[in-house]
Amino acid sequence: MRFLVITLAPTLLENSAYYSYAPYVKEMNLWFSHVDQVTIISPTSYEKKLLKAPFDRKDIDVISIPAISFGTITAIFKSIIAIPIIVFRLFKAMQQADHIHLRCPATIALIASVVQLFFPSKKKTVKYAGNWSPKAKQPISYKLQKWIVGNEFLTRNMQVLVYGNWPNQSKNIKSFFTATYRDDDVPTIKTPIFENPITILFVGSLSPGKRPLYVLEWAKACLDQDLDIHLDIYGEGQERELLEKYLTSHKLHTKVILHGNQPTEVVQQAYKNAHFLILPSKSEGWPKVIAEAMFWGVIPLVTPISCVPWMVGEGTRGVLLDMDVSKDVSAFAKALKDKKQLEKMAVNGQQWSHQYTLDTFENSIKELL
């Protein structure tokens, strides 16, 4: 099988090996292990810092295309010139492929979603890594590519992999997931003991989209109400300095620790020792840290965005935040008083998360191919 991947993620040649964004590489290695030939169409340069990893396969054929954007007049002009080149390379590669795989949402994926209309008999999959919710506020380009790939009259022979279960969808929309652990990693289900201090985690980038400052404001309000909590923050990002200033000004260093980026093993041990995970994100696709936390019996405190309410069982496996500090602290304090209910939530979360392993994920990929 000649497998074609079209993605915005850059494919970078270093030391005779191809690298790209690490979580994407981890997933694509599973796809690539079940096909004969691999071609990737993507940009081949990237100016910003990238968490990268090498592909397992060495025989990847890479077709370079320019990255396009419409943020400035200069970028718009360059993109208009680049689009015909991109269309030509997409068309030629799709002609030669047996299976076309689009990584959405992205501007390049939008162009590819139009070009694939000329190949109705080709087998195709789309991995939509963003928010598939029909109610989500998104750019027009995102809505357009969602409409194209989800329209069974226009788009033929395609399965669209989305996060979460959504009502009133076309038949080619398939609920999908992302996994971290293997079947062999699944632990015995445990019933946590909620003794003080209550340990809480934040795992993610220290960026405005993840709202780590809200986490500190929430933690301070909890401490002000004499809740015995300890908060461990794992991750790095542009708001690190802002968080450090907040900790200093409010004298929270004994109760809140900024650990920075840590190896997977360290974060996994933190999950095993924690009671709650807090993640007040503005936007998500499939937030892996929520599934990872529940895998080890940690209860998520999360915003009701994308497929997150479905992941936490509409409140049966986690607590949905209002993004109002006073309300969220009151709800948390109330939850802590009902230990039996918390134990039930933790067990429900483990039972749900243990279904979504890399082995199950790989078997699903085999079926798609």
Mean pLDDT for the stretch of residues 352-369: 94
Q: What's the pLDDT score for residue 83? A: 93
Q: How far apart are CA 10 and CA 259, in angstroms?
A: 29
Q: What's the pLDDT score for residue 35? A: 97
pLDDT above 90: percentage of residues in the chain? 85
- Global pTM reads 0.87
**Residue count (the chain):** 369
**Please, which residues bridge with residue 126 across strands?**
102, 160
Q: How many CA atoms lie within 13 A of 26 on its CB side?
A: 10
Q: What's the pLDDT score for residue 135? A: 82
182, pLDDT greater than 80: yes
DSSP letters for 231-263: EEEE---TTHHHHHHHHHHTT-TTTEEEEES--
Q: How far apart are CA 227 and CA 120, in angstroms?
A: 59
Q: What's the pLDDT score for residue 133? A: 87
Residue 330 token pair = 């009151």
Per-residue pLDDT tens digits for 271-323: 999 999 999 999 888 899 999 999 999 999 999 999 999 999 999 999 999 99
Per-residue pLDDT tens digits for 40-93: 999 999 988 888 999 999 999 999 999 887 778 887 888 888 899 999 999 999
pLDDT band at 186 (very low <50, low <70, confident <90, very high): very high
Q: Is the peptide bond before 167 cis (omega within 30 degrees of 0)?
A: no
| Average pLDDT in the chain | 94
- 308's enclosing H/E stretch is helix 308-311
260, pLDDT greater than 90: yes
For 211, counting Cβ atoms within 10 Å of its Cβ (0-12 exposed, 13-18 middle, 19+ buried), the class is buried
pLDDT above 70: percentage of residues in the chain? 100
Q: Is the peptide bond before 105 cis (omega within 30 degrees of 0)?
A: yes
Q: How far apart are CA 278 and CA 347, in angstroms?
A: 18
Q: What's the pLDDT score for residue 189? A: 95
Which residue segments constitute the domains of the chain, with CATH numbers given? 2-180+359-368 (3.40.50), 187-353 (3.40.50.2000)
Per-residue pLDDT tens digits for 313-336: 999 999 999 999 999 999 999 999
Per-residue pLDDT tens digits for 192-216: 999 999 999 999 999 999 999 999 9
Q: What's the pLDDT score for residue 150? A: 94
